[in-house]
Chain A
Amino acid sequence: MRNAGLFDQAAAVAERVIREQGISTLPVDPMAIARSVGIEVKEKPASSSGVSGVLIRLGDEFCIAYATHIRSLGFRRFSVAHELGHYFLEGHFEAIFADGPVHESRAGFFSNVKYELEADHFAARLLMPNSLFYAALRSVGDGLAAVESLATTCCASLPATAIRYTECVSEPVAIVISTGNSVDYCAMSRALRDLDDINWIRKGQSLPRNCATRQLSGNPERIRRAERVEGASAFQDWFGGNLRSEVSEDAIGLGEYGKILTVLYSIELPEDSDEDSDEQVIEAWTPRHRR
């Protein structure tokens, strides 16, 4: 889950970079941003399957090298944006260079290292800044189709786009990234998080037994082929609690990544009980005149 507030600085710095660069249209090009501040950008050879990205410093010269063994352009751009996060975020130079080479670096929200997660949040916000992303969000519908449309517009990876989608959408929505039958990551929209009687989906938790995502999870070949499934499941199967509602579920295999992205949406929430009582109060105090 997103740690509210913890990564606000990373988001604010990314938004500042967008402003300073005068960027007003999507997609944002992280390679161009890097070059504009004098950072060399190079592709690693496709035969080199090591880290997704690397920031190299020699004196005052910098280079970002990114992996090409994963074909997704969105993944490559996210890797470059992640390394830019290390360049632009305060305090990172001490953590990633001066403290010694002890940090893991796999861009994509799955690291537990604070600085790597900060760089992930910076990257997501850089590629999908508020002013441009909200405008794009208005015309995309819902579910996986919405995430895919936004990912195309932003030229960003599906997982990163899905996470930004949950941050910006006003409806109750969750996205889950899983490997096998185990949850790697979950992000929920504010409307969903604000519900009282639910269990938040946690890392390491098993997928519900009867959900559509399970149809894909047992078949790595279907995941590799980026196949998709759609279904509906009970809200309680995912979130526990007492709410008896149905959830629309779209899932897609993330190709060579080997993971599944699931979007849970169209969740019918109970009508606001406060609103009801307001109406009742108004009704009770409305004077009735005899004719």
Chain B
Amino acid sequence: MPESRPPEYIFPERLKKARELRGLGQPDVAKRSGIQASAISHFETGNRKPSFDNLRRLAQALDVTTDFLMGRTDDIGGTATADRLYRNIQQLKTGDREFIEDWIKSKTDHARQRKPDK
């Protein structure tokens, strides 16, 4: 089950878990991600919150998904595709909503084509 706690509690644990699973130290992750080792230490203690850019770099460096780091899936390589996240949903007019739905559909279709059913 994906985590229901807020990401500020989940992310530090998931980052540490993924790093240890890959057998890497903080300096190794720093080198791979281009993020300073001190920042990674702060992320793991929860003293600093990451940006989306940080999340993506860390996910790439650790070969996990941002969804795993955010606690939206327990699968280390998984993506919470059903969890459609975008800002302003309440304010979005129909045209905007359709535009976004189209983009998401094109991405999920593309992903499905790349990963044929087993």
- Chain A interface (Cβ within 8 Å of chain B)? 13, 37-38, 40, 42, 44-45, 47-51, 54-63, 65, 86-94, 96-99, 101-105
Contacts and interface: CB of A to CB of B under 8 A. Distances in A.
24 contacts: A44-B95, A48-B99, A51-B96, A55-B86, A56-B85, A56-B86, A57-B85, A58-B81, A58-B103, A58-B104, A87-B51, A88-B51, A89-B51, A90-B49, A90-B50, A90-B51, A91-B49, A92-B52, A93-B50, A93-B51, A93-B52, A97-B86, A98-B7, A101-B89
* Among all A-B residue pairs, the 10 with the closest Cβ atoms: A48-B95, A59-B79, A91-B49, A101-B89, A50-B93, A50-B96, A97-B85, A56-B86, A87-B52, A98-B7
Contact of B8 (A65, A92, A94): A94
Nearest to B60: A60
A45 B99 CA distance: 8
Nearest to A48: B95
Contacts of A102: 90
A59 B81 CA distance: 7
Nearest to A59: B79
Interface string B81-92: 100111111111
Contacts of B56: 38, 60
Contacts of B65: 59-60
A17 to B, nearest CB: 9
A119 to B, nearest CB: 11
Interface of B: 6-8, 48-56, 59, 65-67, 70, 79-81, 84-93, 95-96, 99-100, 103-104, 107-108
Given A42-B103, A49-B93, A88 B81 contact: no
Nearest to A65: B99
Contacts of A48: 93, 95-96, 99
A49 B86 CA distance: 17
Given A42-B103, A65-B103, A94-B7, A54 B51 contact: no
Nearest to A42: B103
B93 A98 contact: no
Contact of B48 (A38, A90, A99, A101): A90
A98 B6 contact: yes
Given A42-B103, A60-B66, A88-B51, A97 B87 contact: yes
Contact of A54 (B7, B70, B100): B100
A104 B104 contact: no
A59 to B, nearest CB: 4
Contacts of B99: 44-45, 48, 65
Given A57-B86, A65-B100, 15 more contacts: A13-B51, A42-B103, A44-B96, A51-B88, A51-B96, A57-B85, A58-B81, A60-B79, A87-B52, A94-B6, A94-B49, A101-B86, A101-B90, A104-B88, A104-B91
Contacts of A101: 86-90
